[in-house]
Amino acid sequence: MLIVLLARALRLPAGTIGVFFSIASVGGLVGALIASRVGRRLGQGRAILTSQAACGLFGLAVPLAQRGWVLWAVSFSLAIAYLANVVYNVTQLSFRQGLTPERLLGRMNATMRFVVWGTLPLGGLIGGVLGQLFGARPTLWVAAVGALLPFLPLFFSPLRTKGDGGPA
């Protein structure tokens, strides 16, 4: 829906859209470089919680995209969301692998990939239907608000007190 918003609603040229996503993607690269340091500094539990919250909060800027300086502010906000997303992914995977007995690592990883990646087609379908019915920007608002929800179970779990860098 973001590409639909940028290309159709804002009528941005392909090159501008490419620069927008290039700037945002730098966040993912930086996240990969700092993920282990963030995990060590905050502890895995707090790093997971903090990065999930940051991803959701900075993602709220996406539906605000407009031509001009706001577009670039949204791109930088999305870069921070991507950074936080990579930190989250690296840290939570490391945490899960630290908790799982070695003989079950393959099953655990396969199950998590099935659960997480298996929902992507459903999300794409729902996003497409919402986009068709309500337009790109309202659909992006639904997605942005929805991206805040994964923080809640993490916040209310024992994970938030796991600041020692290791499993409980």
State how far the Cα of 166 lies from the Cα of 85, in Å rounded to an integer.
Answer: 20
pLDDT at res. 160:
72
Give 86-113 pLDDT, tens digit per residue: 999 999 999 999 999 999 999 999 999 9
d(CA 4, CA 101): 44
The span from the CA of 112 to the CA of 115, in Å, is 5
Regarding the domain with residue range 2-158, which homologous superfamily does it belong to in the CATH classification? Answer: MFS general substrate transporter like domains (1.20.1250.20)
Residue 157 has pLDDT above 50, yes or no: yes
**Residue located via tokens 């959701």:** 56
Give Cβ neighbours of residue 44 (< 8 Å, ≥ 6 apart). 91, 94, 95, 98, 162, 165, 166, 167
Q: Read off the pLDDT of each residue in 54-63 and give the average, rounded to a whole number.
A: 97
**pTM for this structure?**
0.89
pLDDT at 162: 67
Residue range 6-56, pLDDT digits in tens: 999 999 999 999 999 999 999 999 999 999 999 999 999 999 999 999 999
Kindly tell me the burial class for residue 32, based on how many C-beta atoms sit within 10 Å of its own C-beta (0-12, 13-18, 19 or more). middle
pLDDT at residue 168 greater than cutoff 70: no
CB-based contact 49:55 (threshold 8 Å): no
**Amino acid 146: pLDDT:** 94
> In this model, does residue 159 exceed pLDDT 90?
no
pLDDT at site 163? 56
Distance of CA 71 to the CA centre of its chain: 19
Residues 6+ apart with CB under 8 A from 101: none
Between CA 102 and CA 93 the distance in angstroms is 14
Q: Which bin fits 83, alpha (ψ -120 to 50), beta or left (φ > 0)?
A: alpha
Mean pLDDT of 83-88: 97
Q: Categorize the per-residue pLDDT at 167 as very low, low, confident or very high, splitting at 50, 70 and 90.
A: very low
Whole-number average pLDDT of the chain:
93
Q: According to the model, what pLDDT value does residue 38 have?
A: 96
**167 SS3 class:** coil
* DSSP classification of residue 166: S
